[in-house]
Chains A and B, each alone.
Chain A
Amino acid sequence: MTRIDALTGNECVAEAVRLCSPDIIAAYPITPQSVVVEVLASMKANGQLKSKIVDVESEHSSMSVVKGAAMLGKRVFTATAGQGLAYMYEPYFSMSTMRFPMVMTLACREMISPGTVWCGLQDALSVRDAGWMQIFCENNQEILDMVIQGYKIAENHDVLIPMNVCYDGFYLSHQTERVEIPDQEQVDAFLPPIDLPQYLDVNHPAIVDPNTVGSYLIRYREDHLKCMQTAKKVIREVNDEFAEKFGRNWGGLIGSYRLEDADYVLVTIGATTGAARVVVDAWREKGVKMGLLKIRAVRPFPEEEIAEALKGRKAYGVIDRSVCFGWNRGIIAMETFAALGKAGVCLPGLSFVGGLGGLDLRTEYVDKAAGMIVEAAKGAIPAGETFWMNEDFL
């Protein structure tokens, strides 16, 4: 039976991991992810978790340990944030380029400097080109559901790419709210038994991942990128199957709210989406057709869905919790601009950057952004401009 409880985002990760029963877990605690590691350790101590936990001294080691286990065809898990992800970068890249599927959760944290431990999506989004899939969640239920879906997507033999399930640090990692926790039978019926390629066999010694000439390497990349495109279909299919079996439909690559007939669109990622839902309702109340497009998948990037969703609208604006250095805008804004350009969809778009370093993305900020999108449609604000949601924004 489904259990209902009030849990933090971090606790939801641990619950989902318990239900997915990885063979090996190796994770190093770091703010704001630490509770994930603490709860998994206590589940293990209480006999509720079947997985083996390997204690490590760093994030570089945690990813290296699970990579070793993945070579044996095992299901593995780790979690990190911010500087931990930065320290892990070397084995992180090779985990994906060796095509080992896994789920790693990120309680997203702003990158230094200046010194910070607080919320921001800069850590995850800065490594969006390291070959992993990345899905961003807006509430605790979505985190729990995506860890379970993540294993099914990553382990699909047409995909075999690891996935980051990403969620705003503190605003979700430390938020307590109502969630439904499925039971083991439900998850077992959804998640197939582990069936992964085994590359390492002690009885048949071989070198795994030797130095490889470019003529081969380029083919590996080509295949990796193709499989990332296949992942789009798999993410949609797994979403639909999950919706049917668990009664919750997160939309696959994108989510939307009152978008069908919208003239103006707020584009969001992660926890900011909730405030945008409230703002959409308020503008609809005033008779203005505001709608919401929520970007769930950043890798693979749903360029077709985004172009389709924004085609024929009057204007849109993207609210980012990260910066795209060198482009003077947020990362999701830059990616959205690129998707529309490729599709030949032309309409005024604005970039809003806020919520950096734990700064709150106030509902009033999102409301002001909505008003500016309406102005951009009239030409009163130049298309492509970037606005900073700092404390002078209102």
Chain B
Amino acid sequence: MLEIRFHGRGGQGTVNGAQLLTKAIVADGGYAQFIPAFGVERKGSPVYGYFRMNDEIIWPKNQVYYPDGVCILDDSLLGKVPVYEGLKKDGFVVLNSKKPAGEQQIPEGVKTFVVLDATGIAREVMGVEIPNTVMLGALLRVLSSVKKETLADLIAEKYGEKNRQAFLAGYERAAVVNVEG
């Protein structure tokens, strides 16, 4: 079982994005689950999401405390929300940030650190600052078992071709840092 915790802000499409990822895995015959947790449902407030994938049925229906990876849709959450709490040793981080990889502070124990300016890419490709599909592209750099084409098709079906391009741009333009150790 692989577990990921999502961190975003209301309005960034965190929940819709993770639901599409879940659908893509299920469409290809796998098992996946996503449970969102809302505080107050309004734009800008922190959103949490708990994602699991497995090759058989997933029984637990609760939150993820020891994720294999975290996906952070907004770097303004760093230091405000405990985004790295419980992250497993040799885990991964996918972060939306304007700051390039060289200027990022990579938490201890992280094996793979993926960073990109997803909001900037979304603005450039689609003209809107909604980073969720771009972030899914970046996330697929660490989730190699998820088929890119399946997810791209689902994104295009739900949000249109521009979002497919945004997703693919996220995949191509994410900087992947493999931490030695």
| CB-defined contacts of A26 to chain B, threshold 8 Å | none
7 tightest CB-CB pairs across the interface, nearest first?
A274-B59, A271-B61, A6-B26, A177-B33, A6-B23, A178-B26, A176-B34
Residue of B nearest to A270 (CB): B61
Contact assessment for A171 and B26 in the assembled complex, using a CB-CB cutoff below 8 Å: no
Contact assessment for A278 and B33 in the assembled complex, using a CB-CB cutoff below 8 Å: no
Contact assessment for A175 and B31 in the assembled complex, using a CB-CB cutoff below 8 Å: no
Q: How large is the interface on A (under 10, 10 to 19, 20 to 34, 35 or more residues)?
A: 20 to 34
Binds B, one of A85-93, A127-135, A227-235, A359-367: A359-367
| CB-defined contacts of B97 to chain A, threshold 8 Å | none
Choose one: B27, B32, B38, B61; the contact of A139 (CB below 8 Å). Answer: B61
Known: A278-B59, A362-B65. A174 touches B35 (CB 8 A): yes
Please give the distance in Å from A331's CB to the nearest CB on chain B: 19
Contact assessment for A175 and B61 in the assembled complex, using a CB-CB cutoff below 8 Å: yes
| CB-defined contacts of B37 to chain A, threshold 8 Å | 170, 358
Residue of A nearest to B52 (CB): A177
Known: A6-B32, A170-B37, A171-B35. A176 touches B61 (CB 8 A): no
Q: Which of A152-175 contact B (CB under 8 A)?
A: 168, 170-172, 174-175
Residue of A nearest to B59 (CB): A274
Please give the distance in Å from A368's CB to the nearest CB on chain B: 14
Distance of A174 Cα from B37 Cα, bound (Å): 9
Q: Mark contacts of B144-166 with chain A using CB atoms, 8 A cut-off: 1 yes-contact digit, 0 otherwise.
A: 00000000000000000000000
Contact assessment for B26 and A278 in the assembled complex, using a CB-CB cutoff below 8 Å: no
A275 at the interface (CB under 8 A from B): yes
A277 at the interface (CB under 8 A from B): yes
Please give the distance in Å from B93's CB to the nearest CB on chain A: 23
Contact assessment for B33 and A175 in the assembled complex, using a CB-CB cutoff below 8 Å: yes
A5 at the interface (CB under 8 A from B): yes
Known: A174-B35, A174-B36, A175-B33. A5 touches B26 (CB 8 A): yes
Distance of A149 Cα from B139 Cα, bound (Å): 40
Residue of B nearest to A277 (CB): B59
Please give the distance in Å from A373's CB to the nearest CB on chain B: 19
Q: Which of A49-96 contact B (CB under 8 A)?
A: none
The B interface, classified by DSSP as helix, strand, loop or mixed, is: mixed
Please give the distance in Å from A214's CB to the nearest CB on chain B: 46
Distance of A243 Cα from B32 Cα, bound (Å): 24
Contact assessment for B23 and A275 in the assembled complex, using a CB-CB cutoff below 8 Å: no
Contact assessment for A176 and B60 in the assembled complex, using a CB-CB cutoff below 8 Å: no
Please give the distance in Å from A14's CB to the nearest CB on chain B: 16
Contact assessment for B60 and A172 in the assembled complex, using a CB-CB cutoff below 8 Å: no
Distance of A344 Cα from B37 Cα, bound (Å): 43
Q: Which of A342-375 contact B (CB under 8 A)?
A: 358, 360-364
Q: Mark contacts of B32-46 with chain A using CB atoms, 8 A cut-off: 1 yes-contact digit, 0 otherwise.
A: 111111100000000
Choose one: B25, B58, B62; the contact of A360 (CB below 8 Å). Answer: B62
Residue of B nearest to A360 (CB): B63
Q: Which of A264-298 contact B (CB under 8 A)?
A: 271-275, 277-278
Known: A4-B26, A6-B19, A176-B19. A168 touches B61 (CB 8 A): yes
| CB-defined contacts of B35 to chain A, threshold 8 Å | 170-171, 174-176
Distance of A358 Cα from B18 Cα, bound (Å): 21
| CB-defined contacts of A176 to chain B, threshold 8 Å | 18-19, 22-23, 33-35
| CB-defined contacts of B63 to chain A, threshold 8 Å | 360, 362
Contact assessment for A5 and B23 in the assembled complex, using a CB-CB cutoff below 8 Å: yes
| CB-defined contacts of A138 to chain B, threshold 8 Å | 61
| CB-defined contacts of A364 to chain B, threshold 8 Å | 65
Please give the distance in Å from A141's CB to the nearest CB on chain B: 9
Distance of A171 Cα from B48 Cα, bound (Å): 13
Q: Mark contacts of A92-127 with chain B using CB atoms, 8 A cut-off: 1 yes-contact digit, 0 otherwise.
A: 000000000000000000000000000000000000
Please give the distance in Å from B5's CB to the nearest CB on chain A: 13
Residue of A nearest to B1 (CB): A278
Distance of A365 Cα from B81 Cα, bound (Å): 23
Contact assessment for B61 and A6 in the assembled complex, using a CB-CB cutoff below 8 Å: no
Residue of A nearest to B63 (CB): A360
Please give the distance in Å from B57's CB to the nearest CB on chain A: 8
Known: A6-B23, A176-B22. A275 touches B62 (CB 8 A): yes
Choose one: A4, A5, A6, A361; the contact of B62 (CB below 8 Å). Answer: A361
Distance of A361 Cα from B62 Cα, bound (Å): 6
Contact assessment for A275 and B33 in the assembled complex, using a CB-CB cutoff below 8 Å: no
Distance of A171 Cα from B35 Cα, bound (Å): 6
Further 8 A-B residue pairs, CB within 8 A, beyond A5-B27, A177-B33: A6-B27, A8-B19, A174-B36, A175-B33, A177-B58, A271-B61, A272-B61, A363-B60
Contact assessment for B22 and A6 in the assembled complex, using a CB-CB cutoff below 8 Å: yes
Please give the distance in Å from B116's CB to the nearest CB on chain A: 25
Contact assessment for A275 and B60 in the assembled complex, using a CB-CB cutoff below 8 Å: yes
Pull 19 A–B residue pairs with CB atoms less than 8 Å apart, ordered by A.
A5-B27, A6-B27, A168-B61, A171-B35, A171-B62, A174-B36, A175-B33, A175-B34, A175-B61, A176-B33, A177-B58, A178-B30, A272-B61, A275-B61, A277-B59, A278-B59, A360-B62, A362-B65, A364-B65
